[in-house]
């Protein structure tokens, strides 16, 4: 879509939905139950389905399939984020009632970052067509590495972003509700001046938010090129990403307690990344039909989930 109005209308709708989400349904901090998460998951998937139907009607069958395939790729790859979110919230002791706030602002930041990355990717592919082969090779490498990767625990304390934040921003020791920043007495400055001096400090909640944003940025490096393997239309790449990311919060609360049971899922994701990498690499010689791509992606994910349930074993460890 080259016209400006679809971009404006879509982003306005997203902002309105997010405003209603935070200002009405989640105005007060609370623990999200599995039932509530399930309802919201259905809501977000239904909204994405309605938008897909609109793409089918306005743009045709081909564009509609491209959106659905891109959405499925992004939504499935976002499951990997959930593994890391579970670890971060556990490591930093984030109370369940404050996890939604972190994910809300984290996803809002992710939308902005992904929009910029998609714009940059579109320009690069338009100006330098050969870069698609680099993207393809990168996705194949990532998929093979994911399949061969041994299970290991990720230690957030060694994260360079965490160390950088702690150096640049003064961080207090304790949580202060759902606040990201607080004003606290500066004992050293107060002793010098003889009066109480307040210092603005970040709370641990802000540190977790930064790590969540960083995690999404890292995963976006894989997922965005994967969607470009399906379509070169920036609007479809962007909207499929946004629709998938919007449903990530509810998917997290729905799967957080059982995600460890899907210990074969990373094999399915590895097949998806490798397949779309091959699809992008050979696009100049042969274009794999979008419907076939959709079938391969769905079958890979379904197989990995079914085998995980049929052959239960040790849950997949968090990857660094």
> Is 11 contained in some domain?
no
Higher pLDDT, 52 or 26: 52
At residue 151, the pLDDT reads 54
Range of the domain at 99: 25-154+219-310
For residue range 183-242, list pLDDT tens digits in order. Answer: 877 766 666 676 666 788 888 899 899 988 888 887 788 788 888 888 889 999 999 999
The least confident of 121-135, 150-164, 277-291 is: 150-164
The Cα 239–Cα 127 span in angstroms is: 22
Q: Which residues of 133-145 are buried (b: 16+ CB within 10 A; e: fewer)?
A: eebbebbbebbee
- In a domain, residue 276? The reply is yes
- Per-residue pLDDT, 1: 46
Best mean pLDDT range from 8-17, 72-81, 122-131, 275-284: 8-17
Specify if 17 maps to a domain.
no
For residue 51, the SS3 value is helix
Query: What is the per-residue pLDDT across 55-88, written as a single tens digit (0 to 9) for each?
Result: 999 999 999 999 999 999 888 888 777 878 888 8
Instruction: Answer whether residue 120 is part of any domain.
Output: yes
Which of residues 162 and 188 earns the better pLDDT score?
Answer: 162
Q: What is the mean pLDDT of residues 239-262?
A: 85
The reported pLDDT for the residue numbered 316 is 44
The sign of the torsion formed by the CA atoms of 38, 314, 300, 74 equals positive
Position 66 in a domain: yes
315 belongs to a structural domain: no
Q: What is the pLDDT of residues 300-316, one digit of tens each?
A: 888 988 998 888 764 44
For residue 29, CA distances in Å to 23, 41, 159, 205 come to: 11, 19, 28, 13
Closest CA to 64 of 54, 74, 77, 75: 54
The number of residues making up the chain comes to 320
Closest Cα partner for 234 from 15, 7, 47, 5? 7
pLDDT at position 315 is 46
How confident is the prediction for the chain on average, in pLDDT? 83
Q: Is the pLDDT of residue 152 over 60?
A: no
Contact of 71 with 240, CB cutoff 8 Å: yes
- Whether 105 is covered by a domain: the verdict is yes
**Number of domains forming the structure of the chain:** 1
Task: Identify the residue whose tokens are 């690069």.
Answer: 124
What is the residue whose two structure tokens read 């629709």? 243
Within-domain flag for 204: no
pLDDT of residue 318: 43
pLDDT tops 90 at residue 294: no
């Amino acid at each position: 879509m080259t016209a400006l109005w679809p971009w404006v209308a879509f982003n306005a709708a997203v902002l309105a939905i997010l405003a209603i989400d935070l200002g009405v349904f989640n105005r007060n901090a609370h623990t999200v139950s599995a039932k509530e998460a399930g309802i919201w998951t259905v809501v977000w998937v239904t909204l994405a389905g309605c938008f897909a139907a609109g793409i089918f009607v306005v743009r045709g069958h081909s564009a509609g399939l491209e959106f659905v395939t891109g959405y499925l790729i992004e939504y499935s790859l976002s499951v990997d984020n959930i593994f890391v979110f579970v670890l971060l919230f556990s490591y930093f002791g984030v109370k369940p009632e404050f996890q939604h706030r972190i994910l809300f602002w984290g996803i809002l930041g992710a939308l902005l970052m992904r929009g910029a990355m998609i714009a940059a990717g579109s320009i690069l592919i338009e100006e330098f067509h050969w870069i698609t082969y680099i993207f393809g090779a990168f996705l194949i490498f990532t998929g093979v590495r994911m399949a061969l990767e041994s299970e290991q625990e990720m230690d957030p304390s060694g994260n360079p972003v965490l160390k950088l934040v702690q150096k640049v921003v003064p961080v207090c020791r304790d949580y202060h509700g759902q606040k990201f920043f607080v004003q606290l007495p500066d004992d050293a400055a107060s002793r010098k001046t003889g009066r109480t001096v307040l210092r603005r400090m970040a709370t641990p909640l802000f540190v977790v938010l930064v790590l969540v944003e960083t995690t999404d940025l890292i995963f976006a490096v894989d997922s965005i090129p994967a969607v470009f393997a399906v379509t070169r239309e920036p609007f479809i790449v962007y909207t499929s990403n946004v629709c998938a990311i919007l449903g990530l919060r509810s998917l997290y609360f729905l799967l957080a307690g059982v995600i460890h049971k899907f210990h074969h899922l990373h094999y399915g994701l590895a097949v998806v990344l490798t397949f779309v990498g091959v699809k992008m690499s050979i696009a100049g010689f042969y274009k794999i039909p979008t419907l076939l791509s959709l079938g391969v992606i769905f079958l890979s994910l379904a197989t990995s989930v079914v085998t995980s349930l049929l052959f239960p074993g040790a849950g997949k460890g968090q990857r660094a």
